[in-house]
Amino acid sequence: MYLIIKTSLFLIEILFIFYFTKKWGVTLVVSNSKIEKDWVMDSGCTFHVCPRRESLILNEGGVVMLGNNKPYKVQGMGSICLKMFNDKETLLTGLRYVPELKRNLISISMFDALGYTTRIEHVMMKIFKNSVMIAKGIKMNGLYILDGSTVIT
């Protein structure tokens, strides 16, 4: 027997599936149906990277290495606007367009190079500029997902 609950959390649609068994009790499976729109806050990523063109200006090439140690061609570079948890818009610059990617990645090291501070506590990752929180993400399935969304112009 199972119970399905569909809800929205941090602008991400989530499907909770509770499986009931006599032997194990209740098991929770979480499924996110908007993975391609999520932004993963990644401390191991050198650049901001995305697999979709959207509002990017394609003006530069190059190559990036992904986790599988395989080089992928950068099809372009540009900026994209993100609406954050507090409804403020932030321009994410230096974004690389790599169509082979499966997810959008926000580079924590790029924020660090610009003087931002990142803190992780209680399943939350928070990015600060001069003690003002400008972005946050919640840990889901081992990844910190930005509480925000892409602004399409």
Q: Tell me the per-residue pLDDT of 54-107, one tens digit each, with 9 for 90 and over.
A: 666 666 678 888 778 888 888 888 888 999 999 999 999 889 999 888 899 999
pLDDT for res 85 = 93
Q: What is the pLDDT of residue 115?
A: 96
Question: Could you tell me which residues are beta bridge partners of residue 81?
Answer: 91, 151
CATH fold label, 35-151: Cathepsin D, subunit A; domain 1 (2.40.70)
pLDDT value for 59: 65
Residue ranges of domains in the chain = 1-33, 35-151
Q: How far is CA 130 from CA 16, 29, 61, 75, 117, in A?
A: 37, 38, 33, 34, 8
User: Which ranges of 63-143 does DSSP label H, i.e. alpha helix?
Assistant: 108-113
Spatial contact of 108 and 45, defined as CB atoms under 8 Å apart: yes
Query: pLDDT for 92-104, tens place per residue?
Result: 988 999 988 889 9
Summarised one tens digit per residue, pLDDT across range 12-65 is 444 444 444 444 444 444 444 466 689 999 999 999 999 887 666 666 678 888
Instruction: Give the position of tokens 């901001």.
Output: 48
In degrees and rounded to multiples of 5, residue 64 shows phi and psi of: -125, 150
- For residues 41 and 47, what is the distance between their CA atoms, to the nearest angstrom? 11
Is the pTM value of this prediction over 0.85?
Answer: no
